[in-house]
């Protein structure tokens, strides 16, 4: 049995870039400016009296408004701390604590607000992996992260998934039998809830198993969880469907300080405001914040202030009620979409019922590679989907394709699947003639 030791020295996990990251001398002045009696001649802050904005109002769907004014607006309009607006950071710490049953302890874990969670993931990769390093990923996985990893020439170590997420038995076997002549991965990247592209959700048992594997092999886990709040109700058309198990995040299981959690407001507040966050071990989050100091400085202040005003107005009860509405909406969208899939694609494709997220992962029967079908024929028929090969961590041909049920109307969903069914029937006829 391997000895499990909590992470004490994060230097081992840092890339060469991560080790070289140092605080910006200008950004380091930011917290000092708030000290009583401090006269600042050091910072390059523009004079706020020249900003034309004095008040902003945002209308809500309920008919209510939230107002940005006074200190909150002044702070939002000025350069601010790279970790994020203090008011929003405090609210997010409360929310992470209550969502994941973790006591707030700034010495153990911290948060950095970023320009969407994708931004946080890119910054985490910057500090954790060198160009050409191996990294463990699900197969398939999110094409956006694949693009970032490709630019770094990372060696992707794919682990297959099923509807219950990454097959952790295969992950354990892979690492237990690792060729010691090759560099061993130090990071697992996973999308555990409503996985993009497959819609798979990692079971609690596999989450626990993944964490034990990370302990055993001294790995960090990047838990990319933008669909955490899009956990769906049981599929209405299946009388045997039971209520999904209450999920635990991998971060909630983290006793060693080896999990970084990436969250997003994109799916539940607005994708355009571009506010995400990374939560995790304070030394790692601090390093990510140093990347932010040297790039974007901080996430835009006005969107952060909008969220502060919204959360202060609603309170957690109001926010939870909103999340419940979001989950009900996407549950209905999924049910309608799958009803049309059963009507038009039975015998032509296979799929599982997603219990979270906004995607269905179709496997086209008798199709070796969906790329030509999706990128040419479906496009010509005015149906947009993502071919499986675009999501492949191993680059191999794939019979799968990703379909989103989030925005198309009922009529458009049915029409798209009717067109897809016709293409698949034509594909079957073409194979018969060969």
In percent, the amount of the chain with pLDDT more than 70 equals: 99
Compute the distance between CA of residue 388 and CA of residue 368 in angstroms, rounded to an integer.
Answer: 11
- Identify the pLDDT of residue 1: 37
Q: Mind listing the pLDDT tens digit for each residue in 379-410?
A: 999 999 999 999 999 999 999 999 999 999 99
Compute the distance between CA of residue 285 and CA of residue 110 in angstroms, rounded to an integer.
Answer: 6
Residue 430 burial class via C-beta count within 10 angstroms: exposed 0-12, middle 13-18, buried 19 and up = exposed
Mean of per-residue pLDDT scores for the chain: 95
Residue 59 burial class via C-beta count within 10 angstroms: exposed 0-12, middle 13-18, buried 19 and up = exposed
Q: Mind listing the pLDDT tens digit for each residue in 163-178?
A: 999 999 999 999 999 9
In percent, the amount of the chain with pLDDT more than 90 equals: 88
With a CB cutoff of 8 Å and minimum separation 6, the contacts of 216 are 2, 4, 172, 175
Binned at pLDDT 50, 70 and 90, residue 370 comes out as very high
Mean per-residue pLDDT for 68-84?
96
Find the range with the poorest average confidence among 2-11, 122-131, 306-315.
Answer: 2-11
Which pTM value belongs to this model?
A: 0.94
Specify whether the CB–CB gap between 125 and 148 falls below 8 A: yes
With a CB cutoff of 8 Å and minimum separation 6, the contacts of 401 are 361, 362, 364, 370, 373, 374, 385, 386, 387, 388
Q: Mind listing the pLDDT tens digit for each residue in 289-326?
A: 999 999 999 999 999 999 999 999 999 999 999 999 99
- Identify the pLDDT of residue 29: 78
Compute the distance between CA of residue 224 and CA of residue 260 in angstroms, rounded to an integer.
Answer: 8
pLDDT of residue 2 exceeding 50: no
Q: For the residues of 127-153, what is the DSSP string, one character each?
A: HH--TT-EEEEEES--HHHHHHHHHTT
pLDDT of residue 122 exceeding 80: yes
CB atoms within 10 A of CB 37: 4
- Identify the pLDDT of residue 293: 95
CB atoms within 10 A of CB 227: 25
Find the range with the poorest average confidence among 233-242, 256-265, 266-275.
Answer: 233-242
pLDDT of residue 34 exceeding 90: no
DSSP for residue 316:
H
Residue 142 burial class via C-beta count within 10 angstroms: exposed 0-12, middle 13-18, buried 19 and up = buried
Structural element, H or E, at residue 190: strand 187-190
DSSP for residue 2:
P
403 by DSSP, 3-state: which?
strand
């Amino acid at each position: 049995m391997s000895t499990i030791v909590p992470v004490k020295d994060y230097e081992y996990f840092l890339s060469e870039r991560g080790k070289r990251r140092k605080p910006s001398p200008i950004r380091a002045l930011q917290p000092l400016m708030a000290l009583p009696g401090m006269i600042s001649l050091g910072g390059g802050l523009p004079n706020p009296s020249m900003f034309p904005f004095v008040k902003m109002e945002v209308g809500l769907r309920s008919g209510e408004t939230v107002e940005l004014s006074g200190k909150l607006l002044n702070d939002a309009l000025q350069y601010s701390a790279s970790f994020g607006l203090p008011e929003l950071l405090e609210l997010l710490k409360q929310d992470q604590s209550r969502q994941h049953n973790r006591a707030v302890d700034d010495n153990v874990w911290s948060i950095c607000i970023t320009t969407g969670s994708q931004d946080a993931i890119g910054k985490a990769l910057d500090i954790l992996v060198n160009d050409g390093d191996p990294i463990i990923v699900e197969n398939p996985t999110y094409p956006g992260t694949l693009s970032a990893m490709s630019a770094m020439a990372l060696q992707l170590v794919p682990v297959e998934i099923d509807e219950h997420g990454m097959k952790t038995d295969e992950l354990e076997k892979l690492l237990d039998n690792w060729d010691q002549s090759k560099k061993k991965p130090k990071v697992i990247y996973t999308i555990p809830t409503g996985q993009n592209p497959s819609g798979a959700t990692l079971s609690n048992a596999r989450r626990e198993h993944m964490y034990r594997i990370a302990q055993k092999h001294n790995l960090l886990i990047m838990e990319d969880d933008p669909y955490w709040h899009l956990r769906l109700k049981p599929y209405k058309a299946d009388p045997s469907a039971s209520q999904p198990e209450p999920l635990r995040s991998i971060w909630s299981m983290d006793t060693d300080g080896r999990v970084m959690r990436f969250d997003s407001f994109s799916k539940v507040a607005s994708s355009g405001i571009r506010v995400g966050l990374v939560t995790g071990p304070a030394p790692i989050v601090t390093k990510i914040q140093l990347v932010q100091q040297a790039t974007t400085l901080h996430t835009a202040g006005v969107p952060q202030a909008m969220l502060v005003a919204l959360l202060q107005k609603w309170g957690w009860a109001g926010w939870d009620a909103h999340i419940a509405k979001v989950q009900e909406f996407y549950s209905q969208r999924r049910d309608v979409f799958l009803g049309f899939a059963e009507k038009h694609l039975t015998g032509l494709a296979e799929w599982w019922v997603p219990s979270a997220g906004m995607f269905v992962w179709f496997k086209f029967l008798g199709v070796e590679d969906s790329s030509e079908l999706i990128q040419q024929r479906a496009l010509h028929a005015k149906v947009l989907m993502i071919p499986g090969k675009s999501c492949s961590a191993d680059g191999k041909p794939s019979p799968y394709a990703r379909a989103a049920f989030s925005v198309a109307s009922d009529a458009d969903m049915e029409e798209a699947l009717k067109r897809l069914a016709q293409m698949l029937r034509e594909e079957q006829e073409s194979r018969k003639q060969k």
